[in-house]
């Protein structure tokens, strides 16, 4: 089941999000923060880092995780 907002449900003027913060990822997956960091620690959820080092979860990785579930 895909819970990441589908592009068609977003405003036509809003470009599709490429990545989400951990907070957003937790909300989209329906889990708490610690579960997301647990997924990151075990490499089940691959993340990248923004300029100041903040973790970003690529949309594709979220979709991949949801599909593998």
Contacts of 41-49 spanning 24+ positions with Cβ under 8 A: 47/22, 48/19
CB of 12 to other proteins, least distance (A): 27
Footprint on this chain of other proteins (rule: CB under 8 A): 1, 21-23, 29-35, 37-38, 40-42, 44, 49-55, 66, 68-69
CB of 35 to other proteins, least distance (A): 7
CB of 41 to other proteins, least distance (A): 4
For residue 13, what are the CA distances in angstroms to 10, 18, 28, 63? 8, 15, 22, 23
- Of 29 and 59, which CB lies nearer to other proteins in the complex structure? 29
């Amino acid at each position: 089941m895909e819970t990441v907002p589908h592009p068609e449900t977003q405003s036509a003027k809003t470009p599709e999000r490429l990545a989400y913060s951990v907070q957003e990822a937790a909300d989209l997956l329906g889990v708490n923060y610690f579960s997301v960091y647990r997924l990151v620690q075990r490499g089940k959820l691959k993340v990248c880092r923004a300029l100041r080092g903040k973790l970003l979860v690529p949309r594709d990785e979220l979709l991949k995780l949801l599909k593998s579930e």
